[in-house]
Structure 1
Amino acid sequence: MWRELIARLYKGAKFAAPASDEEIDQVERRLGQPVPDALRRLLHEADGVRDEYGSGLVWSTQEIIEQNAEFRASSDFAALYMSFDQLMFMADNGGGDLFAYVRVPAGRPDDVFVWDHETDERKCVAQSLRDYLERRAGDDGGDGWYH
């Protein structure tokens, strides 16, 4: 389902091989947060998807682990930004802004948020992973859809 949707929305999309249950479970163990169901299903079909320009439409399990761990552990980031502990970054725009799920018990489990790297603003931009992919595709790769 996810591969077909993404291939239809993004003509130049590049898909990685599917992720295993163990790789997805490792994300949960390393970050201490559950992987949202829709993201889990997408990762089962492709362990990461890049657009035609190389931006991460959806990161691989390893990228999710590495990027989130780096943001959470950086003392430089801690001095500049609010905590990243409640976020699970899973994609980028290629220019510094990142897309994430908010992973808190009373949070909005399916909503996708954008983190603006210049202002530290975090705002909801889509109500689901599908909504995020469709909105992002509708802007021809620009940033206007979430600003």
Structure 2
Amino acid sequence: MWRELTSEFPEVELQEPADPRDLALIEERLGQPLPEPMRELLLETNGIEDSYGTEFVWTAEKILQENESFRTDAQFRELYMPFDALMFFGDSGGGDQFAVVRTPLRDDIFVWDHETDSRTWIAPSLENYLRGALGSDGEDWYR
């Protein structure tokens, strides 16, 4: 399904499928399940980026690395509200990050604004997020 959806956007670059062990590691280390649509996407392509290098969906390795960093960085704890309820999975290329809500378990997609620490709802699902992101004409399409 995900490769078919992204084939509508010729500037998108897909990766080889993620290793299921990497997905299990994300869930184990973050203590949260991946949303089923995200799991399915990563098992088809380990990340989605455009020809400019914007990573709309990170690789499984980067999802784990970035989320652990957000949750353990001492400076982040002083500057921002906690990130534990979110699972970040991509970025805008300009500093803002995209996340799915994990506490409570929801498939809604939010954007975290790195300048204001705001968390704003932008899509009801991963599919809607990708259609909006990949079909946009540029940075900050979600505003």
- Measured against the shorter chain, the TM-score band is over 0.9
1:22 alignment partner, SS class: helix
Alignment partners' CA distance in 2, 1:133 and 1:20:
22
The runs of 5 or more residues in structure 2 that have no matched partner are none
Name the aligned partner's letter for residue 6 of structure 2.
Answer: I
1:44-63 equivalences in 2 (<5 Å): 44-63=43-62
Counterpart amino acid of 1:6? Answer: T
Instruction: Give the number of equivalent residue pairs.
Output: 143
Alpha-carbon offset, residue 35 of structure 1: 0.2
Q: Which residue of 2 aligns with 1:16?
A: 15
Secondary structure of 2:8's aligned partner: helix
Conserved? CA contact 2:94–2:139, under 8 Å:
no
Q: What SS class does the counterpart of residue 78 from structure 1 fall into?
A: helix
Deviates more, 1:77-86 or 1:131-140: 131-140
The equivalent residue for 2:117 is 120
Residue 99 of structure 2 contacts residue 111 of structure 2 at CA under 8 Å; is this kept in 1? yes
Percent of residue pairs bearing the same amino acid type: 48
Whole-angstrom distance in 1 between the partners of 2:131 and 2:11: 15
Matched residue, 1:79: 78
Structure 1: give runs of 5+ residues left out of the alignment: none
Secondary structure of the structure 2 residue equivalent to 1:125: strand
Number of the residue aligned with 1:140 = 137
Instruction: Return the alpha-carbon distance in structure 2 between the equivalents of residues 104 and 56 of structure 1.
Output: 24
The residue type equivalent to 2:142 in the other structure is Y
What letter corresponds to residue 136 of structure 1 in structure 2? A
8 A contact 2:93–2:139 mirrored in 1: no
CA-CA distance at 1:50 after TM superposition: 1.1
Q: Is the 8 A contact 2:46 2:60 kept in 1?
A: yes
1:142, distance to aligned residue in structure 2 (A): 2.6
- Please provide the CA RMSD for this pair: 1.1
